Amino acid sequence: MPHCAQARTYSTRRVFSMFLNFVLLHLIMQAAGTALTQYPSFHTAVVGESVNFTCSLNDLTGRCSSTVWLKLDDNGDKTFTFVAKGETSKTAERDTACVFNINNLDNHHAGMYYCSYKHSNAAYFGSGTQLVVIGNDPVPLSVVILSPSDGETQKDGNVSLVCMVTGAVLGQTQIFWRLREEEEVTGATSWGRIPKGAGYIDILRNHIQVPALEWTDGNPFTCVVETKNRTYTAQTVHDKGNSTLCPTLLYLLSVPFSIMVLLLLFMALRRQKCCAGHQTVRGSYERNDDTRSTERKREGTVSNSTRENRLVSTTADVQYSALAFDSRRTR
């Protein structure tokens, strides 16, 4: 039985060279009608379980001792890690089905595995096996749609919509889009992982491109996620009118609104000034009335005094005339 060897990471240059060799040899194998057969192409398991991958040598001459298993790490660098080397059973004349076993699965075991066989100066690669590891505490399914930002349009006149699904199992989940609530479109689905605490969260991404005109017209776009048990529907997204005409329209609407606000402010200030003017005039009128009343009182006092003085003077004149008349009579 094969066993796990100590991990060793190849350099990026060597990986690139291996990739070129893989492409070239794959074409040669297709022309010769000979290739490795690797299965399953996809496998889902729970943490703590065991899995087996098989690589068949078919018509290739050789043994499983000449096979190795590589893991493609999805860490941004796309590097291969050597994980195991095959062994030959002592009781078998020739092993053609090379089995790779992983016991006690953990989150870090998830990834893409390839079997490789080297014979003379040639190297052969299998088609790959995608391993998805589900935690004991499954993440609740969540669907989020990433819509384009304002004014984001590609050179071909399209905009991108991305449906992000967490908590779903690759191979057991189907994602498609419903456009304008009528047409159904299947986008391009990819799988990735993001770190969370000591583990990872699996993410399914489904990407479509739609004409920018359909997006700016406000047509609805819905991401539908179907699993084994039920169907989940993301919130429908649509452009809220962020087309190229909107800034102009907003500007045209803002001009009369600004004029109206200025007129209201002008009328309010004018009214305030008028009210202040009326209060000033009224106050002056009241002050004038008080002044006039005071003057009238003063004039009345002066008139009374004058009248009294005139009366006293007249009385004195009368008395004086009477005295003069009496004196004449006495004579």
Average confidence (pLDDT) over 133-138:
73
Contact 83, 111 (CB under 8 A): no
pLDDT tens digits along 150-185: 666 666 788 899 999 988 877 778 899 988 777 889
| Position 331 confidence tier, pLDDT thresholds 50, 70, 90 | very low
pLDDT tens digits along 219-236: 889 999 988 777 776 777
pLDDT tens digits along 232-287: 767 778 776 544 444 444 555 667 777 888 888 888 888 777 766 555 555 555 55
Q: Is the pTM of this model over 0.75?
A: no
Q: Which of 116, 108, 109, 102 is CA-nearest to residue 38?
A: 116
Q: Which residues of 64-81 are buried (b: 16+ CB within 10 A; e: fewer)?
A: bebbbbbbbeeeeeebbb
pLDDT the model gives residue 38 = 92
Superfamily of domain 142-243: Immunoglobulins (2.60.40.10)
pLDDT tens digits along 80-90: 777 776 554 44
In sequence order, which residues have a C-beta less than 8 Å from that of residue 31 and are 6 or more positions away? none
How many residues comprise the chain? 331
Using CA atoms, how far residue 267 sits from 249, 253, 270, in Å, is: 28, 22, 5
Say if 3-134 and 142-243 have the same CATH topology. yes
Phi, psi of 97 (to 5 degrees): -110, 105
Strands 129-134 and 42-46, sheet pairing: parallel
**Can you give the residue ranges of every domain in the chain?**
3-134, 142-243, 257-331
| Residue that the structure tokens 């062994």 belong to | 87
CATH number assigned to the domain with residue range 3-134, chosen from the 4 options 3.20.20.140, 3.30.365.10, 3.40.50.720, 2.60.40.10? 2.60.40.10
* Cα gap 113→67, rounded to integer Å: 13
